[in-house]
Amino acid sequence: MAISYPPLSPLQTGIRGCCPRCGEGRLFRGFLTLAPSCTVCGLDYSFADPADGPAFFVITFGCLPSVIFGIWLELAYQAPYWVHLVTTLPLLLITCIPPLRPIKGWLVASQYFYKAEEGRLVEKGG
């Protein structure tokens, strides 16, 4: 008899890095490396392929505003390099690196939740 799992929110399980099926097992083996499967329920994570999705979201919503801030700082104040080193660089690092893992987890959990698969061409029969 197969165990039935209730649907879990991809946002909640993904951001926490938990298994999208049971919500208890770990999704990641390293910082961004997916585990082969869930240690609790045995879900095989080979279905997951977020590709460049996490990087796209981080660049769009994190890096871009940080770079705009750095450009503004330079144009408005002609700041020396050390000012950029202590303001713009930490801002870039803070807005780029920490969000990668939760966003990747959210995308993987969403793929499971919505049963996303690789697109296939279907030829008309007949």
For the chain, domain boundaries: 10-113
For residue 2, pLDDT beyond 80? no
Average pLDDT in the chain: 94
Tokens of 32: 């961004």
Q: Give residues with Cβ within 8 angstroms of 59, minimum separation 6.
A: 96
Is-above-0.85 flag for pTM? Answer: yes
Cβ atoms < 10 Å from Cβ of 117:
9
State the pLDDT at residue 96: 94
Share of residues in the chain with pLDDT > 90 (%): 89
Question: What is the secondary structure of 67-110 as a DSSP string?
Answer: HHHHHHHHHHH---HHHHHHTHHHHHHHHHSTTHHHHHHHHHHH
d(CA 73, CA 85): 12
Report pLDDT digits (tens) over 104-125: 999 999 999 999 988 888 888 7
User: What pLDDT, on the 0 to 100 scale, is given for residue 1?
Assistant: 61
